[in-house]
């Protein structure tokens, strides 16, 4: 069975433009030989305009010539041209193949042990898990908790090294900023040393 997009229109063209046998045309177009005969007799597909398979890029002139010389030969379609379509940007949780879903708790365990600074929401998107599963692994209430072992998600095939490095770096930078803000806030609440010393001296003088 051929993957010709417009089999009847292609059959019309082959009937009109070549000396191929009905069986050969039927085999290439994925039609029944009697249907091809009906097309030739205009009992079937009447009024359909022929489509050139050579111009369409799925049949070569050499293949037609070979088939015309040998009625027993069956034409082979040309390999379709490959079109590289860019992958759409990931949105929401990543889809994980069923065969690898059982590995996700091990990856979660790895994050909790080695990179606890990574937010749960980032882990969810990176390996296609849920916040509930992360919490179960964290609290050791997961059904397979006793058998979990920390394995990095790259080794498990759940993400690429570049993706992992990016979220780890982002989490580290966020942690650094948070610590800096905390130190700044703590410094603002502490009185200068001079005020502390003065207050202590005043207190000593009052007691005297």
pLDDT score for 113:
92
When mean pLDDT is compared across 42-51, 78-87, 115-124, 162-171, the lowest value belongs to 78-87
User: Are 104 and 158 within 8 A, CB to CB?
Assistant: yes
pLDDT digits (tens, 9 = 90+) for 80-139: 655 455 555 555 555 555 445 578 899 999 999 999 999 999 999 998 889 999 999 999
Greater confidence, 97 or 170? 170
Of 60, 46, 53, the closest CA to residue 5 belongs to 53
Is the overall model pTM greater than 0.85, yes or no? Answer: no
CB 67 within 8 A of CB 75: yes
Q: Is residue 70 scored above 90 in pLDDT? A: yes
Q: Which two tokens stand for residue 199?
A: 């207050």
Q: What are the residue ranges spanned by the domains of the chain?
A: 7-69, 98-190
Q: For residue 20, what are its two tokens?
A: 């191929």
% of the chain surpassing 70 pLDDT: 77
Percent of the chain clearing pLDDT 90 (strictly above): 35
Overall average pLDDT of the 158-170 stretch: 90
Q: What is the DSSP string of 67-135?
A: HHH-TT----PPPPPP--PPPPPP-SSPP--GGGGGGHHHHHHHHHHH-TTS-HHHHHHHHT--HHHHH
């Amino acid at each position: 069975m051929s993957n010709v997009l417009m089999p009847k229109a292609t059959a019309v063209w082959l009937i009109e433009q070549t000396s191929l046998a009905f069986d050969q045309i039927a085999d290439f177009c994925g039609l029944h030989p009697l249907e091809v005969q009906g097309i030739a007799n205009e009992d079937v597909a009447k009024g359909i305009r022929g489509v050139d398979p050579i111009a369409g890029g799925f049949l070569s002139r050499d293949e037609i010539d070979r088939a015309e010389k040998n009625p027993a030969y069956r034409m082979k379609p040309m390999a379709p041209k490959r079109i590289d379509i860019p992958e759409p940007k990931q949105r929401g949780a990543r889809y994980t193949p069923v065969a690898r879903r059982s590995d996700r708790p091990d990856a979660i365990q790895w994050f909790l042990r080695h990179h606890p600074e990574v937010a749960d929401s980032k882990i969810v998107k990176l390996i296609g898990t849920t916040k509930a599963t992360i919490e179960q692994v964290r609290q050791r209430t997961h059904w397979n908790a006793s058998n979990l072992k920390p394995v990095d998600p790259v080794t498990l095939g759940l993400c690429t090294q570049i993706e992992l490095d990016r979220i780890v770096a982002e989490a580290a930078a966020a942690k650094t900023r948070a610590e800096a803000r905390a130190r700044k806030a703590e410094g603002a609440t502490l009185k200068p040393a001079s005020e502390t010393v003065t207050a202590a001296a005043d207190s000593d003088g009052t007691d005297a």
